[in-house]
Structure 1
Amino acid sequence: MRKNDYFERNDSVGKITLIYVILIIGCILSLYPVLNILSIALRPGNSIFSSSLKIIPDGATFENFKQAFIKYDLLEWLIHSLIVSGCAALFSVIVSITAAYAFSRFEFRGRKMGMSLLLVTQMFPATMMLLPLYIMLIKLGLTNRYIGLIIVYVSTSIPFNIWMLKGYFDTIPKSLEESAYVDGASIMTAFYKIILPLAKPSVALTALFSFMAGWSEYIVARVIINDSGKLTLPVGLVNMQGQFSTDWGIYSAAALITAIPVMILFVALSKYLVGGLTVGSVKG
C-alpha cells in the first residue's frame, strides 16, 4: 500500500483507528469462547470449575483429549461424520453444478418457475420436512443407514447451491464457450475444460457449505440414525452429556477435536474462498 493511499480514499486517521479498534474487539469477542473451551480442556480433573482466567491453566494436561478417545467412541463418530458429510458434499456439488449451468446458459420452458420454486424451498427448514422425509425413508428401508441421511442432506442443500453457482456462472462471458464451439468443442467439453476451471472459487465455497451443513447437523441425524454404533459426531457429542453430571473437561476436548477437520478444509480451500465469497455479486 502506498503512503498516500489513505489520503486518496479521504480516510482520516481517526476513522481508520476506529475501524481497527472495532475489528480487534470483534476478534476478541469471537476468540474468547474458543479460548475458554481450550482452557477447560487443558485443566486437570480436580480443577475443572476453577475461576482462573488463565488461558493455559496451572498443571495443564492433554489427559482430557486422550480420555475423549478412550472413554467414548469419538474416533468412530469422526469417521461416520466424515463419510456422511463428505459424500453429501460430493453428490450435492455434482448435481448443483450441472443444474446451475443449465439454468445459467440455456433457455427452456419452466426455467424461471424452476428457479423460483428452488428459492421457495429455502423458506422451509429441514426440520419442518422431517416427518414426511422420515416416513419416506422408512418405506424405502433407509433408516439407520448413512445413505438415507446423505439423501436428506443432499436434497436440502441443492437449492441454495444451485442459486449460488448460477450467480457465478452468470458472471462468466458466454463468448468463451462460443469460441470453443467454433473450434468444434461440444457443450460438455466446453463446460469441463473452460467453464468449470473458471468456477473453482464457487465450487470450493459450495463444497465447504455442503460439508459444514452435514458436519454440524444434529436433529435430522438424531431422528434417522438410532443405532448406537452408527452415530454421527453431533449426536455422539450430545450423548456425552450425562443426565445428572457431565465431564466438561473431556467434553470440551472432544468439541475442539471436532473442529480440526473443518479447519483443515478451510485451509485447503482458502485460496478459492475469497473469490467464492463474492459469488454473483457482479454480473459481467
Structure 2
Amino acid sequence: MTTVAPPPTPPAAGPATGVRAPGLRTAPPRLGARRPGRRGLSVVANAVAVVFGLAWLFPVYWMLNTAFLTDRQIQQRVPVLFPVGGTGSHFAQVLSSPAFWSAMRMSLAIALVVVLGAMVFGFFASLALSRFRFRGRTQLIVAVLVVQMIPAEALFISQYRMLDGWGLLNSVAGMSLLYLGASIPFTIWMLKGFVDGVPVELEEAAMLDGCSRMGAFLRITFPLLGSGLVASSIFAFLASWNEYTLALVALTSDDSRTLPLWLTSFSGQNQVTDWGAIMAGSTLMAVPVVILFMTVQKRMASGLTAGAVK
C-alpha cells in the first residue's frame, strides 16, 4: 500500500519570512492622516507665522496705545503697554484743528484724481499694448519699465521747476499731475498682465455676435479685470496718500499741505515733539485706508466668484 504525502504547509506570514498570508489584506491608509513629522513641521510653521504676525501688528498697536496715553505716561522711562488711565485729549486736539481738515481735504482730492486718472489711462494703455500690434510697441513697453527704474529723488528739481513755470505749485492739480506720472507706468504694467490673462477668443466671439471692438472690451474684458483694477487702484491710492518727499518739495505753503506734511507740524527744532498728537493723527490718517481695504476685499471676492461662474 502506497502512502500519500501531505501537501506542504505554506510558510507563516510575519516579519521573518516577509510573505503575506493568503486571504489577508492590509488596511488602506486613512484619508487625511498625517505623519508625525509633518504634523510637527505644521506646528512649527504656524508658530513662526504667529510670531511674524505679532511683529507686524505691534507697531500698529503701539500707535493706538500711544494715542490714548497721557503726556506723562508717554514720557516715562518704563513703557506703558496698556492705556490704563489714558485720555482721548489727543484725538480731540487733532479733530479740533482746522489744519487737519484742510490737509484731509487736499489729500482726498489728490488721491481721487490720481486713482481715476491712473485707472482710465492705465486701462486703455494696457488694452492697446496687449491686444494690438503696432510700430513702436516694444519700445513703448521698454520705456514703461525704464521710467519705473528712475529714482524719484532724481526728478525733484525738474518737477519743481516745471510746476513753478506752469503756476501749479501748492495746488491739487500740480500734485495730482506728479503723482499720475509716477503711478501710470506701474498701473499699465500691472493691468497688462491681467489683460494678457483674458483670452482674446472671448472678444472675438462677442464681435461675431454683433459687438463692436469697444463693446467687446467693455462687456467682456472689463468685467473680468475687476481684481486687476482693484489692485491697481489701491496702489495708486496708497502712492498718493502716503507720499511725503515730493510733497515736501512741491508744497511750500503752510496753507497747502497733505496729511504727511501736516504731521510734521507737531515736531520741530524749537519745540518738544508732541508724540500723542502725532500718533492720534497717524491713526486718523490710517482710517480711510482701513475702510478702503475692508470695502475692496469683499467686492474683490464677490467679483472673482461671479466671473468664475459666468
Q: Structure 1 CA distance, aligned partners of 2:72 and 2:168?
A: 45
Which residue in the other structure is 2:234 paired with?
Answer: 208
- The count of corresponding residues between Structure 1 and Structure 2 is 273
Q: Structure 2 CA distance, aligned partners of 1:159 and 1:106?
A: 18
SS of aligned partner of 2:272? coil
Which residue in the other structure is 2:306 paired with?
Answer: none
**Do residues 271 (structure 1) and 298 (structure 2) align?**
yes
Which residue in the other structure is 1:281 paired with?
Answer: none
- The question of whether the paired residues in 2 share the 8 Å contact of 1:42 and 1:56 is answered with no
Q: Structure 1 CA distance, aligned partners of 2:302 and 2:183?
A: 21
Which residue in the other structure is 1:169 paired with?
Answer: 195
- The question of whether the paired residues in 1 share the 8 Å contact of 2:226 and 2:300 is answered with no
Give the greater-gyration-radius structure (CA): 2
- Higher relative CO (Cα under 8 Å, sequence separation at least 6) belongs to 1
- Give CA deviations for 1:14-58 in whole Å, capped at 9, x if unaligned: 111111111100011111111112111111232222355554322
**Do residues 33 (structure 1) and 59 (structure 2) align?**
yes
CA 1:4–1:213 in structure 2 vs 1: closer, same or farther (change >3 Å)?
Answer: farther
The farther-off stretch of 202-211 and 232-241 is: 232-241
- The question of whether the paired residues in 2 share the 8 Å contact of 1:205 and 1:272 is answered with no
Cα drift, residue 187 of structure 1: 1.4
TM-score after normalising by structure 1:
0.90
Unaligned segments of structure 2, at least 5 residues:
1-29, 304-310
CA 1:175–1:234 in structure 2 vs 1: closer, same or farther (change >3 Å)?
Answer: same
Q: Structure 1 CA distance, aligned partners of 2:242 and 2:218?
A: 31
Which residue in the other structure is 1:282 paired with?
Answer: none
Q: CA RMSD in A?
A: 2.2
Following TM superposition, the consecutive aligned residue runs of length 4 or more in structure 1 with deviations greater than 6 angstroms are none
Unaligned segments of structure 1, at least 5 residues:
277-284
Which residue in the other structure is 1:156 paired with?
Answer: 182
Which residue in the other structure is 2:50 paired with?
Answer: 24
Q: Structure 2 CA distance, aligned partners of 1:115 and 1:221?
A: 28
Letter in structure 2 aligned against 1:250? A
**Do residues 257 (structure 1) and 265 (structure 2) align?**
no
**Do residues 64 (structure 1) and 90 (structure 2) align?**
yes
- The question of whether the paired residues in 2 share the 8 Å contact of 1:89 and 1:207 is answered with yes
- 1:114 alignment partner, one of 130, 136, 140: 140
Identity of aligned residues (%): 33
- 2:210 alignment partner, one of 184, 188, 191: 184
- The question of whether the paired residues in 1 share the 8 Å contact of 2:74 and 2:80 is answered with no
Q: Structure 1 CA distance, aligned partners of 2:179 and 2:200?
A: 32
Which residue in the other structure is 2:16 paired with?
Answer: none
- Give CA deviations for 1:164-202 in whole Å, capped at 9, x if unaligned: 100010010111100111012111111111111100000
